Amino acid sequence: MNSYLKSGDFTTPTQERVIENPLIKDRITFIKTSEETNGQYLLAQLELAPHGGNPMHYHTTFTEKFEAVTGQLHVMVKGEHKVLEPGQSALVPLLAHHRFFNPSDTPVTALIEVRPARQFEEMLRIAYGLARDGKTNAQALPKSIWHLALLFQISESYTPGLPLPIQRIVFGLLASIARFLGKDKELEKYL
């Protein structure tokens, strides 16, 4: 049985270290959790299947660093396409539109470092759990507007194309309604 520690609005398991997302075709192994680093950072290993990747997005409160370990990790950062060879890294600053992907026919392994850790682990656990349960669309976004709003708020991450203030207002309002309706409780099972 997992033991649980309080983190923000949700609880975080201290044992299960590997999660998988069948839609973006990746596996995350938590090497250093937020709990283990006192929230300073999160370090995870990403195993990205052939032709896997995530949609363009950006973060408002933390940076990400990607470092290729095996294969070639493709990263788009602020419109620039970077191909990372083993040992090479790319830093994603605050508010930078970015995504990672693997266009090849062979798997890619990379390290991801998030500073500060914020609720990145919780966001991944919820997003991957929803994807495993078929509750996301083809882009791995929750089908439920309530879950989407809660996930955007937890992750402090947003999608390009709509101004940030509008996203914060809309998703903030929807997240408040979702909590009132108890929709946040539906996500606790993924943690």
pLDDT at res. 3: 31
Amino acid identity of residue 123, one-letter, is M
d(CA 134, CA 70): 30
C-alpha closest to that of 46 among 9, 71, 13, 77? 71
Q: How far apart are the first and last CA of the chain?
A: 13
Provide DSSP, 26-55: EEEEEEE-TTTTTTS-EEEEEEE-TT-B--
Q: Residue 75, SS3?
A: strand
- The whole-number pLDDT of residue 84 equals 98
| pLDDT given at position 11 | 37
How confident is the prediction along the chain (191 residues), in pLDDT tens digits per residue? 233 333 343 334 445 899 998 887 789 999 999 999 999 999 999 999 999 888 899 999 999 999 999 999 999 999 999 999 999 999 999 999 999 999 999 999 999 999 999 999 999 999 999 999 999 998 788 999 999 999 999 999 999 989 999 999 999 999 999 999 999 999 999 98
| Whether the Cβ atoms of residue 144 and residue 126 lie closer than 8 Å to each other | no
pLDDT of 1? 28
The residues, ordered by sequence, that sit 6+ positions from 6 with a Cβ below 8 Å of its Cβ are none
Q: What does DSSP assign to residue 124?
A: H
Beta strands 26-32; 18-21: pairing state: antiparallel
Please give the pLDDT value at position 116: 97
Q: What is the pLDDT of residue 7?
A: 36
Beta bridge partners of 30: 44
Up-side HSE of residue 38: CA atoms within 13 Å toward CB? 0
How far apart are the C-alpha atoms of 78 and 34, rounded to whole Å?
A: 27
Quick check: 59 and 15 in contact, CB under 8 A? no
Which of 91, 87, 54 has its CA nearest to residue 70? 87
Q: In what order do the strands lie in the sheet with 80-84?
A: 80-84, 73-77, 98-101
User: Residue 38 has what pLDDT?
Assistant: 95
Q: What is the pTM of this model?
A: 0.84
